[in-house]
Structure 1
Amino acid sequence: MFSPKSLSFLSQLTNNNEREWFKANQVQYENDVRTPALQFIQAMQPHVLALSPRLVALPKKVGGSLMRPQRDARFSKDKTPYKTNVGIQFRHFQGKDVHAPGLYVHLANEGCFLGAGIWHPDSTALNKLRTCIDENPNAYKKALIQLNHAGFEMQGNSLIRPPKGYDKAHPMIDELKRKDFIAIKPISSQQFEDKDFVSWCAKEFEHTQKLMGYLCFALDLDY
């Protein structure tokens, strides 16, 4: 599946981030990046379904678990047309976009990692998550313990001040301030290229089950 050629292509793309170059090297992208990524998704399918039948592992070039290589540069100062990473998301089938709860795999020269949770939830979802943490803190704490033991760390953006309706002395205030509920575990490129990466990845995602179940419960989603 993934090999040193995958990161090598991404490195070349970083130095030649133009449509003309990408089109001229499309075959290399297909062979070294997209095909290995789709093979990985296919191999992960039974493992993802074992974690939850509500998660989707779809090995399609467009509209599946592999995130598109094109960047949305409309609201960014950086107008380069392509992402210099590979993003793979196994998200909840009821989620409409990348902001749904899900599992995530990231391959890049700047760093590789596994992720689980929900990124940039909308205000309605964010309010549900905060209410749930306020009313049901113990299950959330158990999820954090499971993550920490496995080397995952909660990351993402947070508010500077407490959200409206919550006191700064609230025992869970740091968690209530979160705008993202994402657990991240850095991994090496060598792990990506290992022949046992699929089974290793599946085992690592088992450590995120309490968090995923909690977030889905908070959002009234089956898991």
Structure 2
Amino acid sequence: MSKTPSYFTPASFKFLRDLKRHNERDWFQANKARYEAELKQPCLRLITDLAEPLRKISDCYVANPKPVGGSLFRIHRDTRFSGDKTPYKTHAGMSFYHRATREQARGGAGTAAFGRLDAPVFYLHIEPGECFVGGGLWHPMPESVKRVRDYMVSNPASWKKITGDARFRKTFVMTGDSLSRPPAGFAKNHELIEDLKRKDFVCSAALPDEALCQPDVLKTLMRHFTLAAPLLDWLCGALDLEF
């Protein structure tokens, strides 16, 4: 019986380490074939193979293997408003997004910014020594944050059930930015005040680099996505989205 091939190899991580040391356009162009073979194409194959399993969690979520405009983020950095002018990201990011975000962009062509509709996502991050998997609502607009907080106050039991689940807590940490003080309009002594301070609603689990190089990485990712799904379902409820 042939062994199931892995997507990523130590060469994938070596490319990213080399890119971090040589984050220059000339170097990247000279090593573009490495990028394609060792990182981009493995990412696109993984995204393709995640599409069907992800639909079993929710058919609202999309694993899009298009090289441009799909689930794989561009490796080129947007440096227009950054003091860091290095041209390339030193990680690979994959977002498995809610279909409503793209429907909103298409429906508002010429008026709506791409992805302007806030919706939680499943996410995979590949970076030497910093790999993680998770999901949730990252850097939402203020009105979306307010809706999530209001929903939390109205539905505290369901929030506590999801974030307090033993398997969830063993696997994930809640991460992202938070306010230093309670948000305006919410009781300072509310039982969920630390969660109400959140500006991001994201769960994250670190993965060793070696886990991404194993033949069973697809199962590993789906196990994490399945555990994160109740949180995304809850967030969709807060934002009046299907799940």
Aligned to 2:216: 196
Aligned to 2:93: 87
CA distance in 2 between counterparts of 1:97 and 1:115 reads 19
For the pair 1:53 / 2:59, whether they are aligned, the reply is yes
1:45-124 alignment, distance < 5 Å = 45-95=51-101, 96-97=114-115, 100-124=119-143
CA distance in 1 between counterparts of 2:119 and 2:8 reads 26
Aligned to 2:235: 215
Q: TM-score, normalised by structure 1?
A: 0.96
* Residue identity in the other structure for 2:197: K
CA distance in 2 between counterparts of 1:93 and 1:66 reads 15
Q: Deviations over 1:48-82 (max 9, x none)?
A: 11111000101111000001101112222211110
Task: Note the C-alpha offset of 1:201.
Answer: 1.0
Instruction: From 149, 155, 165, give the equivalent of 1:130.
Output: 149
Question: Is the 8 Å Cα contact of residues 76 and 89 (structure 2) preserved in structure 1?
Answer: yes
1:10-49 alignment, distance < 5 Å = 10-49=16-55
Aligned to 1:140: 159
Question: Is the 8 Å Cα contact of residues 129 and 209 (structure 2) preserved in structure 1?
Answer: no
CA-atom RMSD in angstroms: 1.3
Aligned to 2:111: none
Aligned to 2:108: none
Question: Is the 8 Å Cα contact of residues 150 and 204 (structure 1) preserved in structure 2?
Answer: no
Question: Is the 8 Å Cα contact of residues 88 and 106 (structure 1) preserved in structure 2?
Answer: yes
Question: Is the 8 Å Cα contact of residues 168 and 227 (structure 2) preserved in structure 1?
Answer: no
Task: Note the C-alpha offset of 1:170.
Answer: 1.0
Q: Deviations over 1:102-146 (max 9, x none)?
A: 100011014110011010000111111000001111111111023
List runs of 5+ in structure 1 lacking aligned partners: none
Question: Is the 8 Å Cα contact of residues 6 and 33 (structure 1) preserved in structure 2?
Answer: yes
CA distance in 2 between counterparts of 1:44 and 1:158 reads 32
CA distance in 2 between counterparts of 1:167 and 1:143 reads 22
Instruction: From 169, 174, 178, give the equivalent of 2:194.
Output: 174
Identity across the alignment (%): 39
Task: Look up the SS of the partner of 1:94 in the other structure.
Answer: helix
Q: Deviations over 1:2-31 (max 9, x none)?
A: 111111000010011111111111111000
CA distance in 2 between counterparts of 1:106 and 1:28 reads 19
CA distance in 2 between counterparts of 1:82 and 1:116 reads 24
* Residue identity in the other structure for 1:124: E
Q: TM-score, normalised by structure 2?
A: 0.89
CA distance in 2 between counterparts of 1:116 and 1:148 reads 12
List runs of 5+ in structure 2 lacking aligned partners: 1-6, 102-113
* 1:110–1:97 CA distance, 2 compared to 1 (3 A): farther
Q: Which deviates further from its counterpart, 70-79 or 89-98? A: 89-98
* Residue identity in the other structure for 2:184: K
Task: Note the C-alpha offset of 1:168.
Answer: 1.3
* Residue identity in the other structure for 1:2: F
CA distance in 1 between counterparts of 2:87 and 2:161 reads 42
